[in-house]
Amino acid sequence: MKSVGASLPGLESSGLPEDAIEVGRILDAWGVKGWVKILPHSASSEALFSSGRWFLQPPEAKHRPGFNAFSGTVVLPVSESKVHSGSVVAKFEGIDDRTPAEALRGARIFMPRSSFPKAGKDEYYWVDLLGLNVVNREGVALGCVRDLMATGPNSVLCVEYIDGEQTLERMIPFVAAYVDGVDIPAGTITVDWQPDY
């Protein structure tokens, strides 16, 4: 194992898997025994619990001031991860006190898509919905899913479309009342929605 940073035991240089998906980032140290608090990118954090090894990259530029824990991509074994008081916290092998945990603040967390647990019936990972074309029951193209937004009880599809020379966005609730079906292999979501809504 190649260590990357004297104060951070356990880090090993790595490449990102081809199917790597960014699933969150490290917010800060949590407690004094080497735990970290995680900001997941999805309202559902099952993907974070599905792998015993997390791939980390340094933060984006806006979160980077003072970050020098490592460069490039590293892999770190996770000894435990759990939900605690509505947040996700994790403990890495070899990181046993607060100082090295603090050094990871801002690091981006990636996992291979192939390690995600299988979604249940009528359940989808957000990453699988991005890029799908949205059409209504009449076959009218409404745009392409560019993002999803959690609004508490349900999620909302952020659908980008072109109107003349402008790029605009539709917000369609991702609930059974409006979504007739999702066909990931065909790349489409069928909705009960009109272009002028």
Per-residue pLDDT of the chain (197 residues; tens, 9 = 90+): 344 444 477 788 889 999 998 888 999 999 999 999 998 877 667 778 888 899 999 998 776 667 888 889 999 999 999 988 878 999 999 999 999 999 999 999 999 988 888 877 878 888 889 999 999 999 999 999 998 887 777 889 999 999 989 999 999 999 999 999 999 999 999 999 999 88
Say if 56 falls within a structural domain.
Answer: yes
**pLDDT of amino acid 4:** 47
> Are 159 and 101 part of one and the same domain?
no
Residues 6+ apart with CB under 8 A from 128: 119, 184
Specify the long-range contacts of residues 27-31, CB closer than 8 Å, at least 24 apart: 27/105, 28/102, 28/105, 29/98, 29/101, 29/102, 29/104, 29/105, 30/89, 30/101, 31/98
Count of the separate structural domains present in the chain: 2
> Are 89 and 21 part of one and the same domain?
yes
> Are 95 and 133 part of one and the same domain?
no
**pLDDT of amino acid 60:** 85
**pLDDT of amino acid 126:** 81
Tokens read off for 186: 């065909």
**pLDDT of amino acid 113:** 87
pTM for this prediction: 0.72
Say if 41 falls within a structural domain.
Answer: yes
Domain that holds residue 61: 12-115
**pLDDT of amino acid 63:** 64
